[in-house]
Amino acid sequence: MFRKVKAQIGGVELPEGFVVSSMINNVAISNDGRYAAVTPDGGLVVANIPADGRIEVDGTVITYQRGTGGSRLNIVGGIRMSSVSGSSVVISGRSCVSIGGHDLGYEIDQGYDGVARVQLKEQANDVNLCLSEDRKAYVRGRTGSEPEYERGRLVIDGLDGNLILPKALANLELDVSTLSGEVDGDVAHRGRIKSMSGDISIRLFAPVQVETTTMSGDVDVHGMVAEGRRSYKPITGEPRGLLSLETMSGDIEVRYSTR
């Protein structure tokens, strides 16, 4: 299953251009920042956002400014945030909301056969890793676009949900990166997991060598033997590849299991 997410305000479905809209004080801003929608008395009103970005609804004045790195709303009259879909939100003081991040306008629940390499790039959402008992890889949750899959290589552009990989495919390679989200869950493959500022916490079910890199966070590895300052290997047997765990300011935790 792969389909667009339908945005709503108060049970009223919004037009397609508002699929991943920002909703502040029951005012929705369209994906492209050109339109605002409100739902008075169960109806739907859509209007152009004026050049000065000023929107006034029920005594609340919202000034909308869109930039290359995200959006900014100055609000007079208090903030009541219904939802902000697919974005990161920063509230400064009592009158300003900064919105940035990646639009995740699609719902997905799909499986892929014969996957040899998986690449996931995320910006703000946490990444949850799971293992499947069959030989398929599954992508479930919200994503920015339909994953690309060609010749065994699966590429996912943003995910708020679960990435489920087949435990039985020992040669599968994993490449997961996120800017500010955390990464946790179960891993049984070689490759790389990277977060700029989030923590990495995994249970490891494959005899791979682990290398850890963090600038200011703590490293805690259980059930493995340290080789040098930041390298670890299984207690018995030769490693079956390398798993690199990298974060700038987050902590790293690994719990190795032979089951």
Q: Categorize the per-residue pLDDT at 190 as very low, low, confident or very high, splitting at 50, 70 and 90.
A: very high
Higher pLDDT, 12 or 100: 12
pLDDT value for 96: 41
**Single pTM value for the model:** 0.73
The average pLDDT across 217-227 equals: 94
- For 207, residues 6+ apart whose C-beta sits below 8 A from its C-beta are 234, 237, 238, 239, 240
What is residue 17's three-state secondary structure? Answer: helix
Q: Which tokens belong to 44?
A: 């739907």
- One-letter amino acid at 86 equals G
In the numeric block, the tokens 């056969």 are attached to 113
Query: Tell me: the pLDDT tens digits for 165-184?
Result: 999 999 999 999 998 889 99
- One-letter amino acid at 68 equals T
- One-letter amino acid at 248 equals M
pLDDT value for 97: 41
Strand duo 242-247 + 190-195: pairing: parallel
Max Cα-Cα span within the chain: 69
CA angle 30, 38, 43 (to 5 degrees): 125
The full set of domain ranges for the chain reads 2-100, 106-256
CA distance 122 to 128: 11
CA distance 257 to 259: 5
- For 241, residues 6+ apart whose C-beta sits below 8 A from its C-beta are 189, 190, 206, 208, 209
- Lowest model confidence (mean pLDDT) among 33-37, 141-145, 249-253: 33-37
pLDDT over 80 at 228, yes or no? yes
pLDDT value for 19: 63
Burial class (CB in 10 A: 0-12, 13-18, 19+), 193: buried
Query: Tell me: the pLDDT tens digits for 53-93?
Result: 888 777 777 777 765 445 555 545 444 434 334 343 333 33
pLDDT value for 134: 95
Query: Tell me: the pLDDT tens digits for 109-129?
Result: 999 999 999 999 987 788 999
